[in-house]
Amino acid sequence: MKYACKNCNFRFEKDVDVEVMKCPYCNRYEAFRERSAEELLEEED
C-alpha cells in the first residue's frame, strides 16, 4: 500500500492496509492510503 502524508507530503509504502497511519517523517497521524486507479474507477459506479 502507498501512503501520502497530508501534513508534510512525505510518501512511503507499507504492507499494512489501513485508511490512515502515522507518518514516519513528521510522526503525525495524517498519512492517508493512496487508492489505486482501479479503486477510483469502482467508486464511480
Is 12 a binder of Zn ion (CB under 5 A)? no
Residue 1 beta carbon to Zn ion: minimum distance, rounded to whole angstroms: 16
CA pair distance 29, 6, nearest whole angstrom: 9
Q: Which is nearer to Zn ion, 18 or 26 (CB)?
A: 26
* Residues near 40 by beta carbon (within 8 Å), at least 6 away in sequence: none
CA pair distance 45, 5, nearest whole angstrom: 28
Residue 8 beta carbon to Zn ion: minimum distance, rounded to whole angstroms: 3
Residues within the interface to Zn ion (CB under 5 A): 5, 7-8, 10, 23, 25-26
